[in-house]
Amino acid sequence: MDDKINIKNLNKFIKSCDKCDLWKSKTNYVVGNGSENSDIFFIGEAPGYNEDLKGIPFIGKAGKILDYLLHSIEIDRGEVYITNILKCRPPKNRNPMQKEIELCTKYLDKEIELIKPIIISTLGNFSSNFIFNKFKLDFDKISNIHGKIFPINSVNGKLYLIPQYHPAVAVYNSNNINILKEDFKNIKYIIDKLK
Protein backbone atom coordinates (compact mmCIF):
# COMPACT_ATOMS: atom_id res chain seq x y z
CA MET A 1 0.00 0.00 0.00
CA ASP A 2 1.34 3.42 -0.88
CA ASP A 3 0.78 6.77 0.80
CA LYS A 4 -1.58 8.01 -1.95
CA ILE A 5 -4.15 5.27 -1.31
CA ASN A 6 -7.83 6.15 -0.73
CA ILE A 7 -10.62 4.15 0.93
CA LYS A 8 -11.80 2.65 -2.36
CA ASN A 9 -8.30 1.36 -3.17
CA LEU A 10 -7.79 0.20 0.40
CA ASN A 11 -10.95 -1.89 0.17
CA LYS A 12 -9.55 -3.55 -2.97
CA PHE A 13 -6.42 -4.51 -1.00
CA ILE A 14 -8.58 -5.89 1.83
CA LYS A 15 -10.71 -7.93 -0.59
CA SER A 16 -7.64 -9.69 -1.93
CA CYS A 17 -5.96 -10.32 1.43
CA ASP A 18 -4.76 -13.84 2.21
CA LYS A 19 -2.33 -13.06 5.02
CA CYS A 20 -4.12 -15.28 7.55
CA ASP A 21 -6.37 -18.31 7.08
CA LEU A 22 -9.66 -16.50 7.76
CA TRP A 23 -10.13 -15.69 4.07
CA LYS A 24 -10.53 -19.42 3.37
CA SER A 25 -13.65 -19.82 5.50
CA LYS A 26 -15.32 -16.43 5.03
CA THR A 27 -18.19 -15.73 2.64
CA ASN A 28 -17.33 -12.04 2.15
CA TYR A 29 -14.65 -9.66 3.28
CA VAL A 30 -16.29 -7.03 5.50
CA VAL A 31 -14.78 -3.62 4.79
CA GLY A 32 -15.51 -0.35 6.56
CA ASN A 33 -18.80 1.35 5.78
CA GLY A 34 -20.21 4.85 6.13
CA SER A 35 -19.11 8.43 5.61
CA GLU A 36 -15.49 8.92 4.60
CA ASN A 37 -15.80 12.48 5.98
CA SER A 38 -17.10 11.42 9.37
CA ASP A 39 -15.83 12.79 12.65
CA ILE A 40 -17.05 9.61 14.38
CA PHE A 41 -15.28 6.29 13.81
CA PHE A 42 -16.60 3.04 15.33
CA ILE A 43 -14.46 -0.06 15.63
CA GLY A 44 -16.01 -3.44 16.36
CA GLU A 45 -14.24 -6.74 16.80
CA ALA A 46 -14.98 -9.08 13.88
CA PRO A 47 -17.81 -9.72 11.43
CA GLY A 48 -20.61 -12.01 12.54
CA TYR A 49 -22.90 -14.28 10.54
CA ASN A 50 -25.01 -11.56 8.88
CA GLU A 51 -22.02 -9.34 8.20
CA ASP A 52 -20.19 -12.24 6.56
CA LEU A 53 -23.19 -12.89 4.28
CA LYS A 54 -23.57 -9.27 3.14
CA GLY A 55 -20.03 -7.87 3.48
CA ILE A 56 -21.27 -4.93 5.61
CA PRO A 57 -20.34 -4.31 9.27
CA PHE A 58 -22.96 -4.28 12.04
CA ILE A 59 -26.11 -5.35 10.18
CA GLY A 60 -27.24 -8.16 12.48
CA LYS A 61 -28.84 -7.90 15.93
CA ALA A 62 -25.91 -5.92 17.36
CA GLY A 63 -26.13 -3.61 14.33
CA LYS A 64 -29.79 -2.87 15.05
CA ILE A 65 -28.79 -1.91 18.59
CA LEU A 66 -26.00 0.29 17.24
CA ASP A 67 -28.55 2.02 14.95
CA TYR A 68 -30.86 2.52 17.95
CA LEU A 69 -28.02 4.00 20.02
CA LEU A 70 -27.05 6.39 17.21
CA HIS A 71 -30.69 7.43 16.88
CA SER A 72 -30.78 8.08 20.66
CA ILE A 73 -28.12 10.80 20.18
CA GLU A 74 -29.70 12.11 16.95
CA ILE A 75 -27.02 10.78 14.61
CA ASP A 76 -27.77 8.91 11.40
CA ARG A 77 -25.77 5.79 10.59
CA GLY A 78 -24.79 7.37 7.27
CA GLU A 79 -22.96 10.14 9.16
CA VAL A 80 -20.49 7.79 10.88
CA TYR A 81 -17.82 5.34 9.75
CA ILE A 82 -18.03 1.75 11.03
CA THR A 83 -15.37 -0.92 10.72
CA ASN A 84 -13.89 -3.89 12.59
CA ILE A 85 -10.54 -5.10 13.87
CA LEU A 86 -10.83 -8.15 11.57
CA LYS A 87 -12.22 -7.99 8.03
CA CYS A 88 -13.17 -11.69 7.88
CA ARG A 89 -15.46 -13.66 10.15
CA PRO A 90 -13.69 -16.11 12.46
CA PRO A 91 -15.19 -19.63 12.29
CA LYS A 92 -18.18 -20.11 14.62
CA ASN A 93 -17.83 -16.47 15.78
CA ARG A 94 -14.83 -17.33 17.93
CA ASN A 95 -12.72 -14.50 19.34
CA PRO A 96 -10.03 -12.95 17.14
CA MET A 97 -6.59 -14.50 17.62
CA GLN A 98 -3.60 -12.27 18.34
CA LYS A 99 -1.82 -13.18 15.09
CA GLU A 100 -4.98 -12.36 13.08
CA ILE A 101 -5.23 -8.99 14.84
CA GLU A 102 -1.58 -8.22 14.11
CA LEU A 103 -1.97 -9.05 10.42
CA CYS A 104 -5.32 -7.32 9.87
CA THR A 105 -4.94 -4.08 11.82
CA LYS A 106 -2.63 -2.53 9.24
CA TYR A 107 -5.87 -1.98 7.30
CA LEU A 108 -7.52 -0.43 10.35
CA ASP A 109 -4.54 1.87 10.87
CA LYS A 110 -4.89 3.02 7.26
CA GLU A 111 -8.66 3.58 7.67
CA ILE A 112 -8.01 5.82 10.68
CA GLU A 113 -5.32 7.69 8.77
CA LEU A 114 -7.64 8.26 5.78
CA ILE A 115 -10.85 9.14 7.68
CA LYS A 116 -9.09 11.38 10.25
CA PRO A 117 -11.87 11.09 12.86
CA ILE A 118 -12.21 13.30 15.91
CA ILE A 119 -13.90 10.56 17.95
CA ILE A 120 -12.91 6.90 17.93
CA SER A 121 -15.42 4.74 19.75
CA THR A 122 -14.23 1.20 20.30
CA LEU A 123 -16.91 -1.44 20.74
CA GLY A 124 -15.74 -4.25 22.98
CA ASN A 125 -12.54 -5.55 24.53
CA PHE A 126 -10.51 -6.43 21.45
CA SER A 127 -10.89 -3.12 19.64
CA SER A 128 -10.43 -1.15 22.86
CA ASN A 129 -7.27 -3.05 23.76
CA PHE A 130 -5.80 -2.53 20.28
CA ILE A 131 -6.54 1.21 20.17
CA PHE A 132 -5.27 1.80 23.71
CA ASN A 133 -2.00 0.11 22.77
CA LYS A 134 -1.81 2.04 19.49
CA PHE A 135 -2.04 5.35 21.35
CA LYS A 136 0.14 4.15 24.25
CA LEU A 137 -2.59 4.27 26.89
CA ASP A 138 -2.87 1.80 29.75
CA PHE A 139 -5.76 -0.55 29.01
CA ASP A 140 -8.01 -1.63 31.84
CA LYS A 141 -10.89 -4.03 31.45
CA ILE A 142 -13.84 -2.61 29.54
CA SER A 143 -16.09 -2.75 32.62
CA ASN A 144 -13.84 -0.11 34.25
CA ILE A 145 -13.37 2.26 31.30
CA HIS A 146 -16.57 2.07 29.22
CA GLY A 147 -18.10 5.42 28.37
CA LYS A 148 -15.13 7.45 29.61
CA ILE A 149 -13.51 10.07 27.39
CA PHE A 150 -9.76 9.79 26.77
CA PRO A 151 -8.32 12.87 24.98
CA ILE A 152 -5.36 12.04 22.72
CA ASN A 153 -2.93 14.23 20.83
CA SER A 154 -2.53 12.51 17.46
CA VAL A 155 -0.72 13.42 14.24
CA ASN A 156 -4.06 14.76 12.98
CA GLY A 157 -4.67 16.89 16.07
CA LYS A 158 -6.91 16.35 19.08
CA LEU A 159 -8.70 13.02 19.17
CA TYR A 160 -11.17 11.60 21.67
CA LEU A 161 -11.23 7.90 22.44
CA ILE A 162 -14.46 6.55 23.94
CA PRO A 163 -14.32 2.80 24.69
CA GLN A 164 -17.70 1.12 25.00
CA TYR A 165 -19.27 -2.24 25.55
CA HIS A 166 -20.03 -4.08 22.33
CA PRO A 167 -23.72 -3.57 21.41
CA ALA A 168 -24.13 -7.37 21.58
CA VAL A 169 -24.22 -7.07 25.40
CA ALA A 170 -27.78 -5.78 24.98
CA VAL A 171 -28.64 -8.73 22.73
CA TYR A 172 -27.77 -11.10 25.57
CA ASN A 173 -29.21 -8.91 28.36
CA SER A 174 -31.67 -6.17 27.41
CA ASN A 175 -31.01 -4.36 30.72
CA ASN A 176 -27.61 -3.33 29.32
CA ILE A 177 -29.24 -1.00 26.79
CA ASN A 178 -29.43 1.75 29.41
CA ILE A 179 -25.68 1.53 30.10
CA LEU A 180 -25.00 1.75 26.36
CA LYS A 181 -27.32 4.75 25.97
CA GLU A 182 -25.57 6.57 28.80
CA ASP A 183 -22.16 5.87 27.28
CA PHE A 184 -23.30 7.11 23.86
CA LYS A 185 -24.22 10.45 25.41
CA ASN A 186 -20.48 11.17 25.65
CA ILE A 187 -20.22 10.97 21.86
CA LYS A 188 -22.96 13.58 21.64
CA TYR A 189 -21.24 15.64 24.33
CA ILE A 190 -17.98 15.82 22.32
CA ILE A 191 -19.78 16.59 19.04
CA ASP A 192 -21.79 19.39 20.68
CA LYS A 193 -18.67 20.76 22.38
CA LEU A 194 -16.85 20.98 19.03
CA LYS A 195 -19.64 22.88 17.25
In a domain, 4, yes or no: no
In a domain, 14, yes or no: no
Per-residue pLDDT of the chain (195 residues; tens, 9 = 90+): 666 789 999 999 999 999 999 999 999 999 999 999 999 999 999 999 999 999 999 999 999 999 999 999 999 999 999 999 999 999 998 999 999 999 999 999 999 999 999 999 999 999 999 999 999 999 989 999 999 999 998 877 889 999 999 999 999 999 999 999 999 999 999 999 887
In a domain, 65, yes or no: yes
In a domain, 158, yes or no: yes
In a domain, 128, yes or no: yes
Q: Which domain holds residue 137?
A: 22-194
What pLDDT was estimated at residue 157? Answer: 81
- Tell me whether strands 119-123 and 81-84 are parallel, antiparallel or unpaired: unpaired
In a domain, 1, yes or no: no
Nearest alpha carbon to residue 121 among 44, 37, 32? 44
Which residues does 125 contact at the CB level (< 8 Å), separation at least 6? Answer: 45, 141, 142, 166
CATH number, domain at 104?
A: 3.40.470.10
Q: How many residues does the chain have?
A: 195
Burial label for 45, CB within 10 Å (0-12, 13-18, 19+), is buried
**Residue 93 per-residue DSSP state:** G
What pLDDT was estimated at residue 48? Answer: 95
The pTM (predicted TM-score) of the whole model is: 0.96
In a domain, 17, yes or no: no
Whole-angstrom CA distances from 23 to 49, 68, 100, 108 are: 14, 31, 11, 17
**Are 156 and 116 within 8 A, CB to CB?**
yes
Q: How many domains does the chain have?
A: 1
End-to-end CA distance of the chain: 35
In a domain, 106, yes or no: yes
